[in-house]
Structure 1
Amino acid sequence: MESHMSFEGQRILVMGGSSGIGAATARRFAHRHATVTVTGRDPERLHAIESSTGARAVAVDATDKAALAGFFGEDTTYDHLVLALSEAAGAGPISTMDLDEIAAGFAGKFWPQLRTLQAALPRLAASGSVTFITAVSARIAMPGTAGLAAINGALESMIPPLAAELAPLRINAVSPGVIDTPWWSSMPEDARAEMFQRYGRALPAGRVGTADEVAQAVEFLAGNGYMTGSVIECAGGAQLASL
């Protein structure tokens, strides 16, 4: 049964919160009466999430160190930080892919998440939490995902030592599987639908996931004061399947 914990009076920051998992996370926290701030780079998406949730939406390019410093220069303390920053890059067969695609994946996900954490530390409540959004590609042997495994595996390997180093601040990650979000929007609609059906047939859950299901896992980690140094899979059993 889904919990209905309240985050009333708490400040939540969702970096990369204008679409997909980040936007779903912002909505869940807003529904739990939190004061929510979301960041992103697309003004139209930011306006949409602001209008639909009442969250404060701020345009921040998390790949820009100066932009991060400016944003966190504001005198605001956050109870929970969610790092949903990502870039749809790094997938493909290693024999033929341009390895610059993997570099682009690191530049669009690994480095922005890590730089944001570092910049945010002075603004995070010691009793709060940080939740990274990684991906189950870090731990499954799925052809064509070696680059994604490198990017997400690098993030996930840092969770336990960061939790030890930054205690009592809690550090966790949610590791999604195949989730129906705009991350896949570069694919033609028919091809995307066929891929989702194929994955759904292979997964024990019988379908691909939704952004809100991942957001529910994020909410759990933020609300559970005894969870730290953990990576929670929200992947429909992808680690059990042959994808």
Structure 2
Amino acid sequence: MPTTLVIGGNSGIGLATAGRLASRGDTVHIAGRAPDRLTEAARAHPGLLPHELDAGDAEAVASLLDQLGGLDRLILTLSGNQGAGLLAELDLGVLRTAFEEKFWPTITAVKGAVPHLAEGGSITLIGAVTARAGMPGTSGIGALNAAVEGLIAPLAAELAPVRVNAVSPGYVDTPWWNMVPDADRRAMFDQIATGLPTRRIATADDIAEAVVLLATNPNLTGTVIESDGGARLMA
């Protein structure tokens, strides 16, 4: 039975991914910084095993991985909603914080997990459409996601036969958008959807399906799947 660790697995894409893998028979551990969300996730999905973790803390990552022993799949669905804005108005301190919330925890967790991964195991990360689409106001957050996606090809070559991949989502209806009032968020999503080739906003489960494919298919490595509803085509 494969052992999977989903860091960021307490909500959104991470939780949807954890649920899908558990239904396939994996032993799935979920980790995150918010104990209330972990408790809620474990209550909603009794088969998931929750762990409180700051992925940017190398010692905490090492301690959890020692506790788990061997690992077949590492999935990081870390996110942050800071770092967007026009360059002239961009607060560089906020952008540094965004890197501290997503990029540095990502590379810290990956580095810590490598010695624990089974031969032929997998690492799957989450980037975003801003890494490759020319959208005004996304130079900061785009650089952040490009940094995450930039890990994929070199690590896939360096860590083989461990497989390394990523999913690059576009607009997804997850708690990432909770900073926008509900009515405004609905109106915004409706407007965005009309401009997408798919004419819809993705669900967390849409993205989770792509994550599971990368995590489990033994012939995929060094790959970034663009699951963005065609948003990059309209930028």
TM-score by length of 2: 0.96
Shift of 1:69: 2.3
Are positions 1:149 and 2:154 aligned together? no
TM-score, L = length of structure 1: 0.93
Q: Which residue of 2 aligns with 1:6?
A: none
| Native 8 Å contact 2:126 2:148 kept in 1 | no
Correspondent of 1:213 among 203, 206, 217: 206
Aligned mates of 1:227, 1:10 — CA distance in 2: 18
Aligned-pair identity in percent equals 47
Q: Give the Cα separation in 2 of the matches to 1:93 and 1:114.
A: 27
Deviation string 1:70-112 (CA, Å, 9 cap, x unpaired) is 2123251111110111222111122112111211111100110
Partner of 1:133: 126
Aligned length: 234
One-letter code of the match for 1:41?
R
Structure 1 residues without counterparts, runs of 5 or longer: 1-8
1:65 CA displacement? 2.4
Name the amino acid aligned to 1:76.
G
**Would you identify which runs of 4 or more consecutive aligned residues in structure 1 move more than 3 Å?**
none
Cα separation, 2, equivalents of 1:50 and 1:235: 28
Q: Does residue 26 of structure 2 align to residue 38 of structure 1?
A: no
Residue of structure 2 equivalent to 1:171: 164
Q: Match of 1:3?
A: none
Deviations 1:133-179 (A, max 9, x none): 11111000111111111001011122111000000000000000010
Distance, in Å, in 2 between the alignment partners of 1:68 and 1:129 is: 17
Higher helix share: 2
1:92 aligns with 2:85: yes
- Residue equivalent to 2:173: 180
Find the partner of 1:22 among 14, 35, 53.
14
Q: Deviations over 1:29-59 (max 9, x none)?
A: 1111211000011112111221222110000
Query: 2:84, 2:139 within 8 Å by CA — same for their partners in 1?
Result: yes
Q: Which moved more, 1:120-129 or 1:93-102?
A: 93-102
Partner of 1:72, secondary structure, is helix
The aligned amino acid for 2:36 is E
